[in-house]
A and B are shown apart, each in its own frame.
Chain A
Amino acid sequence: MLIFDHSSKGRGATAQFGPPMEPASDLPAEHLRSSPAGLPEVSELQVVRHFTNLSRRNFSIDTQFYPLGSCTMKYNPRGAHRAASQPGFLNRHPLAPEAQSQGFLACLWELQEYLKDVTGMKAVSLTPMAGAQGEFAGVAMIRAYHQRNGDDGRTEILIPDAAHGTNPATAVMCGFKVREVPVTREGDVDINALRAAVGPQTAGLMMTNPSTCGVFERRIQEIAGVVHEAGGLLYYDGANLNAILGQVKPGDMGFDVLHMNLHKTFATPHGGGGPGSGPVGVGQRLIDFLPTPVVGREPGPRFRWLDEQDIPHTIGRLSAFMGNAGILLRAYAYARLLGRDGMYRVGRYATLNANYMARQLEKKGFTLAYPDRRATHEFIITLAKENRELGVSAMDFAKRLLDYGFHAPTTYFPLLIPECLLIEPTETECREEIDRFIEAMGAILEEARTDPDLVRGSPYTMPVKRLDDVKAARDLDLALIDPRPAP
Chain B
Amino acid sequence: MLRTIDATAKRNLTSHMPFVPHTQDDEASMLNAIGVADIETLFDEIPAELRSGRLLGVPAGISEMAMLRLMAERSAADSSGISFIGAGAYEHHIPSVVWDVASRGEFLTAYTPYQAEASQGTLQLIYEYQTMMSRLTGMEVANASVYDGASALAEAMLMGVRANKKSKSRRILCAGNIHPHYLKTCRTIVTNQQIEIDTVDWSEEYGTLSSSLWREREDQDYAALVVSYPNFFGGLDDVGKLTDWAHDQNMLLIAVVNPMALGILRAPAEWGQAGADIVVGEGQPFGIPVASGGPYLGYMCCNKAIVRQMPGRIIGRTLDQDGREGFTLTLQAREQHIRRGKATSNICTNQGLLVTAATIYLSLLGDRGLASVATECHNGMLALIDKCRVRLDIHPRFSGPVFHEVAFELPARAADVLAAMADQDVLGGYDLGEFDARLANCMLTNVTETRTEADLDRFVEALAVALKAVGC
Contacts and interface: CB of A to CB of B under 8 A. Distances in A.
Instruction: State if A and B touch, Cβ cutoff 8 Å.
Output: yes
B148 interface: yes
B185 A271 contact: no
A276 B109 contact: no
Nearest to B289: A90
Which among B50, B122, B373 has the greatest number of chain A C-beta atoms within 10 A? Answer: B50
Contact of B56 (A117, A273, A325): A117
Contacts of A196: none
A178 interface: yes
B169 interface: no
Interface residues of B, number: 197
A359 interface: yes
A344 B55 contact: yes
Contact of A273 (B111, B132, B364): B111
B200 interface: no
B107 A34 contact: no
B362 interface: yes
A324 B294 contact: yes
A193 interface: no
A318 interface: yes
Contacts of A175: 192-194
B193 to A, nearest CB: 6
Contact of B339 (A36, A165, A342): A165
Given A54-B124, A93-B427, A274-B350, A248 B52 contact: yes
Contacts of A373: 45
Interface string A247-277: 1110011000000000000010111111110
Contacts of A82: 68
B215 interface: no
A384 interface: no
A44 B364 contact: yes
Contacts of A342: 17-20, 61
Interface in A85-106: 86-97, 99-104, 106
B106 A60 contact: yes
B349 A274 contact: yes
Interface in B362-400: 362-373, 375-376, 378-379, 382
Nearest to A461: B117
Contacts of A99: 422
Interface stretch (A226-234, A349-357, A443-451): A349-357
B140 to A, nearest CB: 7
Contacts of B101: 47-48, 51-52, 55
A457 B63 CA distance: 48
A322 B104 contact: no
Contact of A91 (B134, B289, B330, B362): B289
Given A13-B369, A99-B422, A399-B117, 18 more contacts: A17-B373, A93-B427, A94-B290, A100-B422, A117-B55, A132-B347, A165-B340, A169-B339, A274-B147, A322-B292, A326-B294, A337-B18, A355-B36, A373-B45, A374-B42, A477-B317, A478-B317, A478-B330
6 contacts: A27-B378, A38-B367, A51-B363, A352-B31, A352-B42, A402-B115
